[in-house]
Amino acid sequence: MFDGFCYRDDVDVQGSLFAEAPADRRPAPERRVLSSGAWIDVARSWLTEPDGVFDALVSRVPWRAERREMYDRVVAVPRLLHTYGAGEALPHPALLAAREALDAQYAAELGERFATAGCCFYRDGRDSVAWHGDRIGRGATHDTMVAIVSVGDPRRLALRPRGGGPSIAVEMGHGDLVVMGGSCQRTWEHAVPKAAHAGPRVSVQFRPRGVL
Ligand SMILES: O=C(O)CCC(=O)C(=O)O
Ligand SMILES: [Fe+2]
């Protein structure tokens, strides 16, 4: 069986040759420093089993439509949502492995672990999220991180400084990781703009406790 072969191959290599090394072969994130203490990290093809994760997310998550309350206004959210709280089982083992890999990569810098997993289902290019910062919780006052794992069709994450200035964009492709860090949630805003042609995409955002 192909799966069995892959698994045993992994175990052999990690067990005999690299017994002390972490069993993680994900590409290292590359950092882009933005203004005012904000940064983003990007790692392409970072998630293991992205196809299985996409299928599991689309079929197993209890999706609901919602309007999201931002600080001073309610933003229309044309997309489906579900949040897994701290300690709740995630719908695919690769997402648990992803959270553990994020903790291994970032816990020292972040000072805590990733706890919650917010999931968003963009059914097609008409689904989107407007400009906002994740500022309902501590992100409004403290440096933090929001780690986005993306599966399905690629979509653009646009970012712009809160006080005005040119925007940048990062493509979030199938299996890619994009981490917004530092002051990003309070000094920058982000959005997923509508796209003329896009198939389904699911985003999983890992956040520490108290960051929403
Ligand atoms: O779709 C994404 O990856 C970003 C979602 C987002 O910014 C949010 O839900 O706060
Ligand atoms: Fe956000």
Q: pLDDT tens, 50-95?
A: 999 999 999 999 999 876 666 666 666 789 999 999 999 999 999 9
Q: Domain coordinates of the chain in residue numbers?
A: 26-207
Within 8 A by CB and 6+ apart from 63, the residues are 80, 81, 82, 121
Contacts of 14 (CB under 8 A, 6+ apart): 21, 23
What ligand 1 atom has the least distance to the C-alpha of 190?
A: 7
Q: Nearest CA to 157 among 179, 126, 182?
A: 179
Rounded Cα–Cα distance for residues 122 and 129 (Å): 9
Sign (positive or negative) of CA dihedral 119, 49, 128, 42:
positive
116 ligand 1 Cβ < 6 A: no
Amino acid identity of residue 209, one-letter, is: R
Q: Is 129 in the pocket of ligand 1 (CB under 6 A)?
A: yes
- Is the CB of residue 176 below 6 angstroms from any atom belonging to ligand 1? no
Q: What is the ipTM of this complex?
A: 0.99
- Asked if residues 27 and 156 have their Cβ atoms less than 8 Å apart, the reply is no
Residue nearest to atom 1 of ligand 1 (CA): 203
Which pTM was predicted?
A: 0.86
Positive or negative torsion for Cα 1, 50, 176, 195: positive
Provide the percentage of residues in the chain whose pLDDT is more than 90.
Answer: 75
- State the pLDDT at residue 212: 82
26-207 is classed CATH 2.60.120.590 = yes
CA of 133 to the centre of ligand 2 (A): 6
Ligand 1 in reach of 120 Cβ (< 6 A):
yes
